[in-house]
Each structure stands twice: as C-alpha cells, then as structure tokens.
Amino acid sequence: MLKFSGEVRNVQAKPNETVEIKLVVGAERLSGQMEELTMLVGKDVSAQLESDQISFKEPIDPQTKEPIVGYLVDEDGKVHEYTQTKLDLKLEELEPEERENILNRSEINEYILQSDGEIQEIEGGSFDGKEILERLTAGEELPELAEEYNVSTTKLSEGLENYRKFVAAKAKAWLEWKSKENEEEEK
C-alpha cells in the first residue's frame, strides 16, 4: 500500500464513462515509493482521497466580529475554553454569525497527539479521536481498527474527520501559542 500527499490538478470525464484524475506529487513526498508506484501502472487500484485542509466554522459576535468562544493556552500548552459575556444587557441580542477557518490536517493532528485528548460525544456513544490517531500514527491500518471497533472503514474515517473539526478551534489557539513560544525561544 502506498501513502503520499499530492495535489489534484485536474478531473476530466472521458467519453467511455470513465473519469481521469490527475494527481501531482512531489518526488520527496513519495519517499522511496516510486518503484512500487510504477509497478501499478495499468493495474486496477483502489484509492481514497481526502483534503489535507480541514474547514471549520466558529460563531462570532455580529457587533464585535470577535469569536464568541475564546481559548487560553497555559504555560504547559493546555487549552482552556471561555465564552465572551455581554456587559450591556440593554443591547438588542443579535444572532451570532459564523466565520470559516481552514487549518492543515497535519497541524490539527499535531495538536491532537500532544493534547490530553477529549472524548467527543456522538450518537450511540463516544469517540476517542486521540486514541485512533495515535494508533494510525504508530502504523496500524484503518481497516484493522475499523474491524476492531465493529464499524466500516468509511465510518471510522468520517468519525476521525469529524473529531478533527470538533477540536479544530482549540488546535488553532494552540498553534498560535506554539508559534509565539517558538519566536520567543529564537530571541
């Protein structure tokens, strides 16, 4: 099995009811898998593509344009959540707006792996995204984990994707804190 990241450059429907997908991958991202890849030319393969970027929305105050939920990171890198409170109760209450943010999957994964791990409550139970990600990072395969958890590979993959979105706002705060910490260390 080959694993690498690349950029989808083109998708074209062909007249013979097939679709041609052009994927551009830097040689360094193949990390020695070029020979194995060339052996697959002309063979049927299965592929799973997912974006390296995670999009998430955060509610913002329509008057201040600031996030309604904020995050503080302590000196140990632990992220704490707080909410903004209205000081003047005479103001008309406006519906919150949403702001879309995008983070790289690898950055969110970095946050998840260093965090204490949050359990996400989902329909039918809970989801420990950190445990799943740790096991995948250690080399276990998604189909094996899915079988162990008695779910489909697709369902487990979607669960991890939803977990990334669940912690994305905290990951953003942690990444900003980490960047400032690194800048201070360099000084």
From 7-11, 120-124, 138-142, the region with the lowest mean pLDDT = 120-124
* pLDDT category of residue 9 using cuts at 50, 70 and 90: very high
**Would you say residue 96 has pLDDT above 80?**
no
Q: Which H or E run includes 143?
A: helix 142-148
* pLDDT category of residue 90 using cuts at 50, 70 and 90: low
Residue 132: both structure tokens together: 């799943």
φ, ψ dihedrals at 138, nearest 5°: -75, -5
pLDDT, position 111: 95
pLDDT, average across residues 107-122: 88
Cα 8 to Cα 29, 37, 39: the distances in Å are 14, 17, 21
C-alpha–C-alpha distance, residues 39 and 42, integer Å: 8
At 125-170, the pLDDT tens digits run: 788 999 999 999 999 999 999 999 999 999 999 999 999 999 999 9
At 51-89, the pLDDT tens digits run: 889 999 998 888 888 888 889 899 888 999 888 665 555
Residue 115: both structure tokens together: 């965090």
Cα 52 to Cα 63, 79, 95, 181: the distances in Å are 33, 23, 32, 25
Average pLDDT, the chain: 88
pLDDT, position 91: 55
For the chain, the structural domain boundaries read: 1-49, 53-186
